Structure 1
Amino acid sequence: MKAVLDDRQRVHDPKMFMANGTRLPNPEQPERIEVLRAGAEAAGCKFEAPTDHGIGPIAALHSPEYLVFLETIHERWSRIEGASDEVIPNIHPDRRTASYPRSAVGQAGFHQADTSCPISAGTWEAAYWSAQTALSGADAVMAGDRAVYALSRPPGHHAFGDLAGGFCFLNNSAIAAEAFLKAGLRPAILDVDVHHGNGTQGIFYHRRDVLTVSIHADPIRFYPFFWGHADERGIGEGLGYNLNIPLPRGTDNAGYLDALGIALRRIQMFGADVIVLALGLDAHENDPFQGFKVTTDGFARIAEAILNLGTPTLIVQEGGYLQRDLGANLTSFLSGCQRA
């Protein structure tokens, strides 16, 4: 199986995030790249570097205001006397239509949803090449590959059009789906991360040309809390083109596969030409976030069910954090893809 990775993704090296009012080591570490690459290679993947598609495909979904912010904010923040090494917001507007401040502090609050997306000197470069990795994976699928793995890091599915959050800055899966759409294909995004893909939902919520489906831990007591509930079906032309399947904490292989069957049926009825699979490996029983109880073998069964649809699939890496089974989980998933 073909795989795509750019080494410049390593330069984003966040040190901390806040959870429950406590400073904690940030789990979205560059080391994830090494573990995931080894896991993919163990499944027979051959990596190549991405092509630079420029800013256009990114700007098709993310506002230029937001992109300027991501590119420049760390340098501006660093000029503040006594500022932290990483850009972390301490104030947020009460609405997205609020006035746009000139200050770095105010803009950080406007464009960063939470304290889980600290911006350092290398964040923009890494996020840019993470998106280019997904776009190059899309190219390979359009060239005829049945399934392609894009090792995109930092991840993307919590990023809205002008808002970072949850370790995410540019929405790689959404950017790839838009590229498929512009090429004349009919894309569906299937998000199997343990956390709801709220940024992806937000980008396409009013649209009918991209189907968005997410299977995730019930957000009533789980990040991202405010999105991902079953009654969120889209608005306007997008009504009926968003499907959320929230599941109880601790859901195991059997419960997950039942939900996946519902998701795949919806994708079939959408008539998708291509699937963008937002792959989170954090549904595993040993993941630090402890949302689900999917086993390593369970990931192979999930992959087989998806690829058995016969629809070309771009696999874009989302979550899945450092623990002893992370690489084995990816090996299992990608091996299942190739057996299907």
Structure 2
Amino acid sequence: MKIYSHENQMLHHPQSYFSRGKMREPQEKPERLTELLKAPEALDLKVTTAKDIGIAPILAVHDLGYVDFLKNAYSEWIAVDEDMGKEVQTTIYMPHSNDGLGILAKAAKYQADGSAPIGEHSWTSIYWSAQTALNAADVLLNDDGGQNNIQVCLTRPAGHHARKNAAGGFCYLNNAAIIAQHLRQKFQKIAIIDTDMHHGQGIQEIFYDRNDVLYTSVHGSPINFYPVVAGHEHERGEGDGYGYNVNFPMPHGVDESEFFQFVDKAIETVKLFNPDVIVHVLGFDVYKDDPQAKCAVSTQGFKTLAQKLKALDKPVIVLVEGGYCIEKLNENLQAFISGFTAEKIINNK
């Protein structure tokens, strides 16, 4: 097992979070990564500092204008000759019929909701979050001996809500999509299995018309729950991609056994696809005490989840994304990692 992170991911520190008609306390805090890093230390596992793979894999997925916005928005924001606040944040959402003339127009074009503000150091963390994920993909591209079957990336900010040209849901660059596309240089078929509490509408959108990348997601029903406009069962893909987008929206309030019933269905879909590599978007926000949870997974449930992924006997890259019960992130990640390192393997039905 290899584990990756980078200290620059700590620099992004959101101060604002506008959701459902009110300002709320930001939940995507640097302290999340501090707690996650305690898990490999407790298990005596090395954390590899990510190296710079470059911007090209990012631009293979995201629009150049959008990436330029993420990189330069803050400097443009503070250059305006009036008090604009400490972060790039908009209450105007106009992705179309918008020429992007001025930083407010650019924010209206590229920020999809009120949960993805951009501060002074946000781009640095956003960039290194993507690079952390890319390090795992790069290892697989250069590994001829099959020695790196399990890799875990401690990434923040997360990525699965980020669209090709829009930030939202605490996400800016879509790490899962970026590494899936990067892996296609060598591997024919990539499966993304997403078990975050929220549907990854960004991943769905990016690969919706493709059959070389399977996206399957287990998440809370999006009815009156983020992302609210995507993640329904009838969304199956289009064109060549029809059937390669498979959603398993859970009714709100399911228990752990019901959660795993949905996970098992997703795993069966992945097995049928028979991918070369699996990318797992892991959300600890399915934990029973998480403020975002609409289900009730226990700490030991994360060990079970890892065992199910291990039983697929494929290279797996894990992206640790959601999870906002900060005091439990260390314990929950330890349980998840132990599922990969334990001798006993759960056989998926």
TM-score (norm 1): 0.97
Matched ranges for 1:1-340 at <5 A: 1-80=1-80, 81-93=82-94, 96-142=95-141, 143=143, 144-339=147-342, 340=345
Q: Is the 8 A contact 1:135 1:176 kept in 2?
A: yes
Distance 2:338 2:327 in 1: 19
What is the CA–CA distance in structure 2 between the aligned matches of 1:105 and 1:279, rounded to whole Å? 33
1:201-240: CA deviation from partner (whole Å, max 9, x where unpaired): 1111111110001100000121110000000000111110
Q: Which amino acid aligns with 1:109?
A: A
AA in 2 matched with 1:71: K
Stretch of structure 1 that moved more, 181-190 or 169-178: 181-190
**Partners of 1:49 and 1:34 in 2: how far apart?**
14
Equivalent pair of 2:129/2:156 in contact (CA under 8 Å): yes
Deviation at residue 290 of structure 1 after TM alignment: 2.6
- Aligned residue for 1:230, secondary structure, equals coil
**Deviation (angstroms), 1:79:** 1.8
Residues 332 and 141 of structure 1: CA distance in aligned 2, closer, same or farther (over 3 Å): farther
CA distance in 1, matches of 2:76, 2:300: 47
Distance 2:2 2:212 in 1: 27
Deviation at 1:101, TM superposition (A): 2.1
Q: Distance in 2 between matches of 1:204 and 1:230?
A: 16
Which consecutive residues of structure 1, in runs of 5 or more, have no partner in the other structure? none
Aligned length: 338
Write the deviation string for residues 228-282 of structure 1: whole angstroms up to 9, x where unpaired. 0000000111110000000011222211111111111111111201100011110
Structure 2, unpaired ranges of 5+: none
Q: Which amino acid aligns with 1:76?
A: E
Task: Work out the CA distance in 1 between the residues paired with 2:331 and 2:218.
Answer: 22
CA distance in 1, matches of 2:177, 2:35: 25
CA distances 1:153-178 after superposition (whole Å, capped 9, x unpaired): 11000001100001000011111111
| Preserved contact between residue 285 and residue 325 of structure 2 (Cα < 8 Å) | no
In 1: Cα distance, 2:188 partner to 2:8 partner: 30
Q: Distance in 1 between matches of 2:244 and 2:96?
A: 25
- Deviation at 1:322? 3.6
Q: In 1, are the aligned partners of 2:289 and 2:325 still within 8 Å (CA)? A: no
The one-character-per-residue Cα deviations of 1:6-38 (angstroms, maximum 9, x if unpaired) are: 101111111120223222221100111110011
Moved more, 217-226 or 249-258: 249-258
- Residue 279 of structure 1 contacts residue 315 of structure 1 at CA under 8 Å; is this kept in 2? yes
Question: Matched residue of 2:73: which SS?
Answer: helix
Measured against aligned partners, the alpha-carbon deviations of 1:43-68 in whole angstroms (never above 9, x if no partner) come to 44311111211110000000101011
- 8 Å CA contact 2:88, 2:107 repeated in 1: yes
* Contact 1:232–1:243 under 8 Å retained in 2: yes
Question: Counterpart amino acid of 2:173?
Answer: L
Counterpart CA distance in 2 for 1:45 and 1:3 is 8
What SS class does the counterpart of residue 325 from structure 1 fall into? helix
Q: Distance in 2 between matches of 1:92 and 1:166?
A: 14
Does the 8 A contact of 1:141 with 1:313 survive in 2? no
Identity of aligned residues (%): 39
